[in-house]
Amino acid sequence: MRKATIMSKIIIIIQREYFSRVKKKSFIIMTILGPILFSALMIVPLWLSMQEQEKHFVEVIDDSKLVDGFMRNDKNVHYDYPPVSLEVAKRDLYKTDYTAILWVPENILSSRKVILYFKSHPGIMVQEKIRSGIEDILYENQLEAEGIDMEKVNAAHIQVNIVTEKQSASGTGERTNTGVNMGIGFGAGILIYLFIFMYGVQVMRGVIEEKTSRIVEVIISSVKPFQLMMGKITGIAMVGLTQFVLWVVLTLVLYGIGQTTFLKDFSDTVNPTIQQNVVPSMPNQVVNQQQNISYSEAAEMFKSLQNINFVQLILAFLFYFLGGYLLYSALFAAVGSAVDSESDTQQFMMPITIPLVISFVAAQFIMQNPEGPLAFWLSIIPFTSPVIMMVRLPFGVPPWELALSMTLLVITFIFMTWLAGKIYRTGILMYGKKVSYKELWKWLRYSG
């Protein structure tokens, strides 16, 4: 009966924390804006790449006589070669439809420099096209001057696609894609990092608000401090899970709509784009080879996606999100109970946040070596495992390492919650006193 009463009180606190937050305008706005931003990050770059860019009409003045007539036109840049001097071209630029003048000096081979005079500023992609076009022409000229057949050179250029396959002890193989694994792992790790910070700080701020407004004195008359702390932590965790699930569902819906609306012609535009960017002198077999490589890479990417255990990833994400959040939010709650204002939290926040910051920085190196000793230890240590294990999982983690990491995280969470509860019980009703680490140690020793 007593246990039922304790649980009912905790449930009431959970309901209070949950519904008071999900009804806020900020929660509703962020729940809607989050998926829109995530979908935009996936769709907008592809959509923009498909749009017609501004067209540039370039007047080429070639004093070297090496480039004249050889620059390759495309849908964004068109070259013309009028028989005029540079001085005349610059003087009459605004009387013509040209957007820029490309001057190739006579000593181009020694100076290795051209000048682009413009009235409509060309973007970095247009400048790169011009630069690479001139380089290709000079490259071909140099080889031809040495009596080397360009067709043979182009035919000898062979591209290779690296396919990675993880071998098991039983001899079976599984296709992988390092780029895909890095993207999924780092994305999941960053989400865990952001969620722990975002909702852990919410716990701390909620405790400080209740403490400074003295509402906590009324609440403590009905429930024990530990029950209040657990109810607050659990309630905010449910808010986080609700927002995460809504983000996933809405992002998938918006991405599906965007894919069918904006990207429906993407597959039709890929092939012409490839053909437009091919060097005209390149033999057909080389063109076909490049196209086959591109299609092969795309096929391997989708095949590697099919081999990723997304069920395991999602379940592990939920576990490490909850485990990491519960571990850190207990510490955030202890900090909130020990101070009277948010400005006083800085001295206690540093030791708590350092492991999270280390895991964020280390994640970028661990992606390069997901099976090294640094990756192993940081994915086992409970204070860094929520982020690092999610980074490693897409690359494949032995079951015993995953089980050990989860077990240690649960044990550490229980211990740190008990430890934080001792600070919480004493600090929640203490006002007007600057707390030090020495004072916290005393609370840990004499709290019941």
Strands 173-176 and 164-167: antiparallel
Contacts of 397 (CB under 8 A, 6+ apart): 379, 389
Q: Please give the Cα distance from 141 to 25 (Å, whole number).
A: 66
The 10s digit of each residue's pLDDT in 220-255 is 777 777 778 888 888 888 888 888 788 878 877 776
The 10s digit of each residue's pLDDT in 404-439 is 999 999 999 888 888 888 888 777 777 767 777 777
Average pLDDT by stretches of 10, the chain with 448 residues? 66 83 81 74 60 76 86 85 90 89 88 86 81 87 80 74 63 63 81 86 82 72 77 85 82 70 51 42 46 49 61 86 89 83 77 89 86 91 92 86 94 86 77 73 69
User: Which residue, 188, 169, 174, 165, is CA-closest to 310?
Assistant: 188
- pTM for this entry: 0.64
Q: Which residues pair with 116 in a beta bridge?
A: 102
Q: Please give the Cα distance from 414 to 224 (Å, whole number).
A: 18
Question: Is residue 68 packed enough to be buried (19+ CB in 10 Å), middle (13-18) or exposed (0-12)?
Answer: middle
At residue 427, the 3 state secondary structure works out as helix
The 10s digit of each residue's pLDDT in 65-103 is 888 888 888 877 889 999 888 998 899 888 888 989 999
Token digits for 89? 């071209």
* pLDDT number for residue 47: 60
Residues 60/79, Cβ–Cβ less than 8 Å: yes
* pLDDT number for residue 313: 83
At residue 67, the 3 state secondary structure works out as coil
Domain residue limits, the chain: 56-148, 179-446
User: Per CATH, is 56-148 categorized as 3.40.190.10?
Assistant: yes
Q: Please give the Cα distance from 177 to 183 (Å, whole number).
A: 10
Token digits for 71? 């620059």
* pLDDT number for residue 97: 87
* pLDDT number for residue 402: 92
